[in-house]
Amino acid sequence: MMSFFNSYTPLLELALFNALLAFSQYVVLRAGVFSLGTAAFAALGAYAAAIMVTKLGMPAWLGLIAAVGLGTVAGALVAVPLARLRGVFQALATLALVQIVLSITLNWVDVTEGALGINSIPKTIGLFGMFCAVAVVTYLMSAMGSTSIGRAFDIIREDETVAVSLGISVPKHHMIAFILSGAIAGLAGGLHAYTSYSITPNEYGFNMLVMVLAMVVLGGRVSVWGPIVGAVVLTALPELLRGLQEYRTVVQGALLMLSIIFLPRGVADTLIGTLRRRRITLASTKAKAVTI
């Protein structure tokens, strides 16, 4: 058992990191925001954490606070122009944000070391730390589902007109979603910097954006199981498809297309919906049997 963990530690860490990124994407999609900015927020978090430790000589916990803080601030700043815009424009603008962050991390060489990235970051966080972070975020997300914010998110996603008629402020909740997304992605980036020894700008580019989006689309956007299922499947997939190395991108693209066309709610949400319906029909037939 121990040797199993040892040989798969990097993979498990990657899966947990992906799960955190997926949660950052999940929280915006749940609120009906088409943000694709997770990769940008994660890059900011990772660079904040790495710079705090390697250049300023701060302890790692302070670096993590800086990572979460920078992610949160970036999310809030982006939300100011974007919370009042419609979906497609949010998607375009956040895509541009990813590019802006990428070109800053590539070109501001004095601070970010440019294309080489920041190397030899001491590894201060292990599998257990990552696991704790994912557990806390999962708990917070599932707790959020039963607060007024979570319910408001669900209504906005399903029908904005209904949400407005119920007195829910759409821009305000979109802003909350952006801030949460920024904070979670910042945390993910910071943890990644402390587990992977080095970070480079191109890790946080278009590829990450697509992968994170694919995880949440495949997994599901409502239940907290969605991002976890998506992260596990898409982290394991490249390992399972080793023989098809060259066609990995094709498989990923096809998966994205097929799941949005044939399984638009995602694996986890569809499954949960089916189970719930079955339970209801069972209960109602039982109730009928009793009354007869």
Partner 1 sequence: MLMQQLLNGIVVGSVYGLFALGFTLIFGVNHIMNMAHGTIFMWGAFAGLYAVTLFDVPFPVAVLIGALGGGLVSVILDWTAFRPLRKQGAPEFSSIVSSIGASLILLSLAQQLTATRVMRFPFDIFPIVAFNFFGLRIQLLQLVIIAIVVLMVVGLLYYLYRTSFGRQIRAVAVSEHTSKLLGINPTAINFQVFFISGALAGIAGVLIGIVFNSVHFMMGEPLLLRAFVVIILGGLGSIPGALIAGLLIGIIQTLTVAYLSAGLADALVFSTLFLVLLVRPTGLFGGASAVARVTRR
Does residue number 80 form part of the binding site for partner 1 (CB under 8 A)? Answer: yes
Number of residues lying near partner 1 (CB under 8 A):
45
Cα 2 to Cα 132: distance, rounded to the nearest angstrom: 19
Does residue number 241 form part of the binding site for partner 1 (CB under 8 A)? Answer: no
Burial, 76: exposed, middle or buried (Cβ in 10 Å; 0-12, 13-18, 19+)? middle
**C-alpha torsion sign, points 117, 71, 217, 126:** positive
Instruction: Name residue 118's beta-bridge partners.
Output: 199
Stretch touching partner 1 by CB under 8 A, among 47-55, 58-66, 246-254, 275-283: 246-254
The nearer residue to partner 1, 53 or 83, going by C-beta atoms, is 83
* DSSP state at residue 37: T
For residue 249, the minimal CB distance to partner 1 (Å) is 4
Token reading at 57 = 């000589």
Stretch 110-139 residues interacting with partner 1 (CB under 8 A): none
Does residue number 260 form part of the binding site for partner 1 (CB under 8 A)? Answer: yes
Token reading at 131 = 């696991």
For residue 220, the minimal CB distance to partner 1 (Å) is 13
* 31: number of Cβ within 10 Å: 26
Stretch 24-43 residues interacting with partner 1 (CB under 8 A): 29, 34
As a dihedral over the C-alpha atoms of residue 259, residue 263, residue 267, residue 268, rounded to 10 degrees, the angle is 130
The nearer residue to partner 1, 18 or 112, going by C-beta atoms, is 112
Which residues form the interface with partner 1 (CB under 8 A)? 29, 34, 80-82, 84-89, 91-93, 95-97, 99-100, 103-104, 106-107, 160, 170-171, 206, 210, 213-214, 217, 246-247, 249-250, 252-258, 260-261, 264
